[in-house]
Amino acid sequence: MNSEIRNIEPQALWNKFADLNAVPRPSKKEERVIAFMKEFGESLGLITEIDKVGNVLIKKPATPGMKDRKTVVMQSHLDMVHQKNADTQFDFDSQGIEMYIDNDWVRANGTTLGADNGLGVATIMAILESTELIHPAIEALFTIDEETGMTGAMGLEGGWLQGDILLNLDTEEDDEIGVGCAGGIDVTAKRTYKQEVVPEGKIGYSISVKGLNGGHSGMDIHKGLGNANKIMNRLLFDGFENFGLQVSEIKGGSLRNAIPRESFALITVDAIQEEAFEFEIKELIKTIKNELVIVDPKLDIEIKKTDLPQNIMELGVQEGILKALYAAHNGVYTMSASISDLVETSNNIAKVTIGKGEITIECLTRSSVESSKTDLMNKLRATFELVGCEVTTSGDYPGWAPNMDSPILKVMDALYQELYGEKAHVAACHAGLECGILGQNYPDMDMISFGPTILGAHSPDERASISSVQKYWKFVKEILKNIPKN
């Protein structure tokens, strides 16, 4: 299946992407891909180093005639988001990604593709391996764990890099030159509860929410996509308010940086309420589907009778949690007042796990303004603390403030217009990029982010445009030729 990918132009890039996608590389489990990159660098006879957290640095000298140019750091992250469809049998810890061509798109078979940020990694690998491309001295920086905490960028020490310019290859629209990004923080609410034995006179149901598009919890948060956790909570809240529904367990979402696509719950209701409950919830399901028919036309919500669960939540805790999840903000919180159409602050209620006496709710809050990020974090904290949860925060990372006077921006902006006859879209994004963190230890480094068009990142619908990669590859080569002199 992957062999056809190797024949796409530019073959140098797609072959490296296929090599990379054969290596399992989940966040926080990057040992194999670190070893893969180390072997790759050393096989080329290039200086290859690994720092104490696992970031890989490969250095390549300038080609003839380019030694007087500024040194460029080309940077991408090694890890990828692991998401799959519920009916896809796949082990991310042991299997390579299965890819196929669909017209102008490269896709994966029921899983995320890893184009985020594998195409960036493959680009740098192709440049390192090339004996023909013209370029200045390159420091190829491959960071780890970007997707679940940016611990690679956070652990990168000052002084390791000598470059003057950083090209981050992690933007997902080929007409965009990125000059800024949002920061983020993980918000986690936990508490315990007493399990109660299901009393007599109850019947059990399973509820499933599936078929949502999901997507990147930063780049796609403004699209109004359905959040499986919020949809499930709406169903449970209605059933509780009107029919005394009681929850046995909930399992919704998977990763903080992915809009949750699926949620599953086991519940009970009084047997005498069976007919009225089923009628009410089926009407609500129709309403929700109608609300989301444009953005999530494949939404599938099912309710089925099932065996009675052994235990249910104590009623008081259940009422509080359902109300807190209803009140907790999800989606866009504020839009930027300074940059048109840019989401400033948002939250993703990413994962809800309830069962066996324990409750865990995981969110990712993003903002390009630190005070607004703190404000929304406190709003969430207050909401969950009111119902007895202990709320903790972790993984706090800064945003990247735009520098519109950037010298490399001027070079790239002019080159883009020369190559394609139109101006690039110079913008900040609502995703988290590593530039803000790297800039803390390298404040004088001139930074830009760009990349090919990738849609559906962080979901099994992730796909990369073949024609866009060709466009982007041409742009990369011209940028390297036109790096300013020292």
Q: What is the DSSP string of 419-469?
A: HHSS--EEEE-SS--THHHHHHH-TT-EEEE----EESTTSTT-EEEHHHH
Q: Is 200 a catalytic residue?
A: no
Question: Are 29 and 11 within 8 A, CB to CB?
Answer: no
CB 413 within 8 A of CB 329: no
Domain locations in the chain? 3-181+399-481, 185-397
Beta-bridge partners for 106:
101, 464
Q: Which residues fall within 8 angstroms of residue 37, CB to CB, at 6 or more apart?
A: 48, 56, 58, 78, 142
Give the largest CA-CA distance in the chain. 84
| Helices (H), ranges, 292-434 | 315-327, 370-385, 407-420
| Sequence-ordered strand ranges (E) for 34-71 | 47-50, 56-60
Bridge-based pairing of strands 246-252 and 343-355 is antiparallel
The SS3 assignment for 192 reads strand
79 is catalytic: yes
What are the CA-CA distances from residue 424 to residues 37, 340, 400, 419, 475 (Å)? 32, 16, 20, 11, 12
| Per-residue model confidence (pLDDT) at position 339 | 83
Sign of dihedral through CA atoms 361, 362, 367, 373?
positive
| 185-397: CATH topology | Alpha-Beta Plaits (3.30.70)
Q: Which of 30, 116, 145, 146 is catalytic?
A: 146
Report helix, strand or coil for 218: coil
Low-confidence ranges of the chain (pLDDT < 70): 1
Assigned CATH topology for domain 3-181+399-481: Aminopeptidase (3.40.630)
**Residue 113 phi, psi (nearest 5):** -85, -30
Model's pTM, two decimal places? 0.81
Total count of residues recorded for the chain: 486
258-259 and 138-143 beta bridge pairing: unpaired
Let me know: does 387 contact 207? Beta carbons within 8 Å: no
State the Cα–Cα distance between residues 349 and 471, nearest whole angstrom: 36
8 Å CB contact between 231 and 172? no
Q: What is the pLDDT of residue 16?
A: 98
Report the pLDDT value the prediction gives residue 236, as an integer from 0 to 100. 98
Token duo for residue 255: 């990763």
Note the pLDDT of residue 85: 87
Rounded CA-CA distance 4/23 in Å is: 18
Q: Pick the catalytic residue: 79, 139, 172, 220? A: 79
Q: Across the beta sheet with 454-455, what order do the strands follow? A: 99-102, 105-108, 463-465, 454-455
